[in-house]
Amino acid sequence: MNAPIRRLSTVVALLFSALLVSTTLIQFVQARSLNERPDNRRTLLATYARERGQILVGGAPIAKSVPSKDELKWLRTYPKKDLYAHVTGYYSFTYGAGGGIEGAEDSLLSGASDKLFYRRVSDILTGKEQTGASLELTLDAKAQAAADKALGNQRGAVVALNPKTGEVLALVSHPSYDPSVLSSHDTTKVVAAWKKLNADGDRPMVDRAIAGNLYPPGSTFKVVTTAAALESGKFTEESQIPGPATLDLPQTTVNLPNDDRRPCGPNDKTSLTHALEISCNTAYGWLGMQVGADAFRAQAAKFGIGDRLSIPMTVTPSSVPAQLNEPQLAQSAIGQYDVRVTPLQMAMVAAAIANKGIVMKPYLVSKVTSSDLETIDEAQPEQLSQAVSANTAAALTRMMETVVKSGTGTAAQISGVEVAGKTGTAQHATGQPPHAWFISFAPAQDPKVAVAVVVEDGGNAGSEAFGGRVAAPIAKAVMEAVLGR
């Protein structure tokens, strides 16, 4: 009789122990992850019971909550709609907080962040209604509007940075969408809008500036190749290098031609400056092989290529292939083969050259404030790396100025302002027009803004200057907006 009772007691004890362990796991170990799940309706209901913090640009809200008369006390609204859609992201009762600042800084905006713990306690003790923190962004409203207007109905992205601080001044991705259709309290309409947006082949919810399928950078990457060559000490701006109509590549029967099938100078020779000015493929294919794969990859890494960044949205890392034979290296040196980048990364390359070779960490949130405007947190500029020496940066600046003055980037010229830039046309799919690129900064000798533009399928396979005519005017419009021109 005692043995069965003991066995039953043991089973009961084990069951209670299992219950205790599972309860502890759920209430303590897994509590944060469960609360942060976007489909946790209990958490969502709790957050809708208090006002969510605003997202601000120049003191004006681009995302805010307004009182609602239905079950959910607050309705999230986006006054500028698609202009800032990829910056704000969306806040939906059906799909949670996603994309942009809404997703990346949800805990601050909702008031659940550990940074707000003591403020929450104070609000409870004083009986004050709890609210989320507001976030002031680094964006320049005029630059954002100029980028959006200039990109128009073309697919692509524009990124502008303050070279000296890393502040993101413009972040535009097209096509865009209206996040307010996802914040509606009408779940039927929200679900229908969600399905439509996700079924759209142009992928309007993808932030092309920092994520999604990365782009081959095309000839804008010749700036990185030039940096590696100058840093090696074996080349100067005026070094004479081969620039034949077609470069005979080793280990393959496929050669590397210039777009116009013509040599880049008399006797198949050209200076390094002139090669960048006219974007000579054969000269840069040869130069890449002279620099070597290790030095080429190392130089790219110094510009931040391969780094995992958060601005605070997660940025997809750009990449250069880990293994490169000589033909692959020649193609990579002109921004082709398997080199892949984000527009943000190429803006960082331009910004580093503008900032005497120093790469600054890009950031989008300048200040976090409470509902009574008290500063909770404030961003400080942070250096990531020294990509090149100050002397190399100065040489690159002079070379990039010639691109805009008399080369493939003349469409970026601004009256009374020295502009440094580099065009690019990037092959990406058989039978498709190349992507058109432009990176730049201005004023060249005292830079206030660095810009990267990519226009999908916006180039012409036979003309680097054609690509410059598509992307360079967009960059010009953004630079003029920042400079007050």
* Separation CA 28–CA 36 (nearest Å): 14
Residue written as token pair 């010639």: 402
DSSP tag of 265: S
* Separation CA 273–CA 222 (nearest Å): 11
Closest to 78 in 3D by CA, of 92, 96, 94: 92
Q: What does each C-alpha distance from 408 to 125, 194, 252, 424, 455 come to in angstroms?
A: 65, 42, 30, 9, 16
User: CB neighbours of 406 closer than 8 A, spacing ≥ 6?
Assistant: 277
One-letter amino acid of 389: S
- SS3 state of residue 134: strand
- Concerning whether 371 is annotated as a catalytic residue, the answer is no
Residue written as token pair 């790396």: 385
Beta bridge partners of 271: 240
Q: Which two tokens stand for residue 110?
A: 């909702």
Whether 452 contacts 343, CB under 8 Å: yes
User: CB neighbours of 290 closer than 8 A, spacing ≥ 6?
Assistant: 229, 234
User: How many residues would you count in the chain?
Assistant: 485
H/E/C letters for each residue in 344-389? HHHHHHHHHHHCCCEEECCECEEEEECCCCCEEEECCCCEEEECCC
Q: Which residues of 193-222 are buried (b: 16+ CB within 10 A; e: fewer)?
A: bbeebeeeeebbbbbbbbbeebbbbbbbbb
One-letter amino acid of 238: E
Q: Which residues of 245-262 are buried (b: 16+ CB within 10 A; e: fewer)?
A: ebbebeeeeeebebbeee
The dihedral built from the CA positions of residue 53, 59, 62 and 67, taken in this order, carries a sign that is positive
User: CB neighbours of 140 closer than 8 A, spacing ≥ 6?
Assistant: 58, 160, 169, 170, 481, 482
From 183, 219, 332, 366, active-site residue? 219
Catalytic site positions: 219
